[in-house]
Structure 1
């Protein structure tokens, strides 16, 4: 195979079209071919339409273990690697595959830091029905997501936790490929998801990693088999890169907690840090904290005790202030609200996570395109969860928005996606499995 650049020179003996055909026909790509392809795409030598075709070929044909490892390594090699080895505490990070009401990073990062680890939490923004951690935190007056590497290191040493945007130098090929997948119908590919997540996390330089892989209607992985395959692929990539990695499979058929949106989720996270909050948010925060502390080699403290002591709240306040935020500033309030009420007595048996996520998105809490703004005050408050007993006329769901014209379409998203019956449903465990 031979590929020529604009000057007519042969480039390392590979041709994008031939590589696409190999994968299209079910063949296996050699590591050096993958390295050339990903590097060439990052440099602009492989065209968007060629990488689109390759992404679709991978979507249908997959990548074997060796290909996936090579693909992830090639993505990492297109950028820089961070180094936290000079910090005085061990580093451990958490990544969630995304869900509705998933504000766990907000109480989790300061809690783990209060226990003695450093948490370099590189987070993202929401797209579609899944909320973004940075969008939530930007509801806090003055808080900023963009930090230099020096600011990040200083925050980790001083406070123990930083939540910020990933710099453009980390796995830049992923940034281009992710945007391409979003417009070509290839987002749901397990190898492409795994390599996207793990290339950034490995390049980030964390000493250990815990994954929260969501399963259910409000998650990218709708069934346990797909979620398990994704978790195993990511755990293997971390292990091969020398980063101890484990994963918890957690349920996302109903929203996590009682809030979905931006400011409303910050308020709920602060409740958890104050020793209250919904039981499912508290339970998952503590479970992930224990997993992270074990990975970091810290065994002499129980995060549940620290959560109740107020020490995690102290770290939260410092974490917000270090990034320019005012932890005492009032959170944005919506200009308009609308409440959905129970139409009968009984037990709430269903409240679909995807429907709630879409409704929050339509209210202005999310974005359809990366460049769209979000409303800090937009979101949804739940007054009951499946299994709770309700009475006719009782508030079930309150919609928050700054634009009342958005309310009808949000109500439409919820219509038919909550149910009340005479008997209570069986409660399913929040944590389904652990993979390591």
Structure 2
């Protein structure tokens, strides 16, 4: 899919909403401290061990959660408020929120992802209908995933093509990958790509607990998410969103924008191995990495850091380690790796959009954020995990990996601009 003839695709703006902070700078400085922002939280006290911890963004008072109030018109869900906040920050950071930027926004593409959509509004609608209450005429929009992208495009003033990619927990990487393809082929000159989730609700908590996906450890809640550690037993649900403004280098330079990094390559595969499980061999993950490296024109020895999916599940962390050994070979054991899910939990599709924001900041600032809660690394993982402190390093290229239910595995290569 390499489209180098049209020039590189650069990142000129980033917006984030996370449990570690709202806004790029607050988020970045927070994750560099390596502090867990996972907190005790459950809708079923005493009834469920799993799902009792979550990474929740300090975005607004708890009373404003959609599942605490009557169902509203679609588009009022917490998901949309998170998405708008991240997108507007990214546009502002890219210098597009002025009269000169408006014409570019009017033709900009929007490529977004969400694994479960405006679930809190869906839950409220179903609950109210089961009780015989009247719901708004446009309530059905909450169940139309395509409406998410349409509504965000309308609200954010983005007039180009839009698409929503419901590819699960690889969604953030996939949104960026599709935006990359659109920019390379000339469909758009500028695009916003990202993923957003607000899944900390009764139904989602119960569903993931039911399939034993979330952690059930009886421990201090901030330690529940512990990627690569022998004690890991499931992920911790999180929420948030990440948005990146992508544009062709020529467009960015012509308007005086400052490139923060380069989206150099993307690869994605589907193993179809199991609906929720990952094969321990990591073969499919390795294939996605190989595709991303080839697309970027980057060799294994040119990767300086890997921002892993690192979900804190027993299977994922071993499979990723095996995939790195297959693709990076001699460099795998010494490669600095990290997982931000140790600090903010797993925000499903939004997780790797947030992690891509961190990857861009790593190449821009030359600092690798740490993994927290690593006390006894699983020998089957055996990687050079950056923990417990941040690490200053010369980073030319970052590899970002992601995996999702259904067997989807995606990877993105982020490169330092000007390197």
Give the structure-2-normalised TM-score: 0.28
TM-score, scaled to structure 1: 0.27
Which structure dedicates a bigger proportion of its chain to helix?
1
| Structure showing greater relative contact order (alpha-carbon pairs closer than 8 Å, 6 or more residues apart) | 2
Bigger radius of gyration, 1 or 2?
1
Structure showing the higher strand proportion among its residues:
2
